[in-house]
């Protein structure tokens, strides 16, 4: 079972990916995480990606598609994969169709007015855990592993505005792309807890995965 997770910045793609991975054992591949690891490692891809990520723009297609193609064709994907943050425009979706099969696109729909607060209030840990400041009660370390929490460089209001614009103009049209193929499942990601959103996704995935 191969899944594409679609949704605006802050919609909850990473949050749901973790829950789906834990429950179904699908391999989570997040292009944003791959770029951030490259930035941290100071690689040439990281240097290039940072110049785009800081502006809220998309990293060039040829770099991104090659990364995902390499990961899917040379990496172990076990029971299937779950792409978080890829494809991000129609060109990437067309390229993906050339090297892998997509069974379902889960579109996490969240009202734009919730997204800015979710993202600017997000604090993350290098172990992958993610929190919102409103639930931290002043804590500055991760409840799961004790490491210090930090804010992503692109989680500031100006960059978030640009990311939301990029999403609206380039990524949102992908919902129609997958709908036309009969592969779109849209879930309301804005009015329930992560666990409640996952329960709705699970109902759908249970139809595919026994």
**Interface with Mg ion (CB under 5 A):** 14
Q: Does residue 118 have an active-site annotation? A: no
The interface with ligand AP5 within residues 22-61 (CB under 6 A) comprises 31-32, 35, 52-53, 56-59
Question: Restricting to residues 59-78, which ones interact with ligand AP5 according to CB under 6 A?
Answer: 59, 64
CA 52 to CA 169: how far, in whole Å?
16
Q: Which does 64 bind (CB under 5 to 8 A by kind): Mg ion, ligand AP5, none?
A: ligand AP5
Shortest distance in whole angstroms from residue 11 CB to ligand AP5: 4
**Is residue 71 annotated as a catalytic residue, yes or no?**
no
H helix intervals, 44-111: 44-53, 61-74, 90-99
- The single residue of 18, 55, 69, 152 carrying the catalytic annotation is 152
Q: Is 88 a catalytic residue?
A: yes
CA atoms within 13 A on the CB side of 137: 1
Number of residues forming the site for ligand AP5 (CB under 6 A): 33
Taking the complex as a whole, the smallest distance from the CB of residue 210 to ligand AP5 amounts, in Å, to 27
CA separation for the pair 200, 189 (Å, rounded): 10
Length of the chain: 210
CA nearest neighbour of 38 among 63, 58, 62, 3: 63
3-state helix, strand and coil shares in percent for the chain, rounded to the nearest 5: 50, 15, 35
Residues annotated as part of the active site: 13, 88, 122, 152, 163
| Binding residues vs ligand AP5 (CB under 6 A) | 7, 9-15, 31-32, 35, 52-53, 56-59, 64, 85-86, 88, 92, 118-119, 122, 130, 132, 163, 189, 192-194, 197
């Amino acid at each position: 079972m191969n899944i594409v997770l679609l949704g605006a910045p802050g919609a909850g793609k990473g949050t749901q990916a973790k829950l789906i991975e834990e429950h179904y054992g699908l391999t989570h591949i997040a292009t944003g995480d791959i770029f951030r690891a490259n930035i941290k490692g100071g690689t040439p891809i990281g240097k290039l990606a940072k110049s785009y990520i800081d502006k809220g723009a998309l990293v060039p297609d040829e770099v991104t598609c090659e990364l995902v193609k390499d990961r899917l064709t040379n990496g172990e994907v076990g029971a299937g994969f779950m792409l978080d943050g890829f494809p991000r425009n129609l060109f990437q979706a067309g390229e993906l169709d050339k090297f892998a099969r997509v069974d379902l696109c889960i579109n996490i729909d969240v009202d734009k007015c919730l997204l800015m607060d979710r993202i600017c209030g997000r604090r993350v840990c290098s172990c992958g855990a993610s929190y919102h400041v409103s639930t931290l009660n002043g804590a500055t370390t991760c409840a799961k592993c004790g490491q210090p929490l930090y804010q992503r460089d692109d989680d500031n209001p100006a960059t978030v505005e640009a990311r939301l614009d990029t999403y609206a103009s380039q990524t949102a049209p992908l919902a129609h792309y997958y709908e036309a193929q009969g592969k779109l499942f849209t879930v309301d990601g804005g009015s329930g807890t992560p666990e409640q959103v996952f329960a709705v996704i699970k109902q759908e995935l249970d139809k595919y995965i026994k």
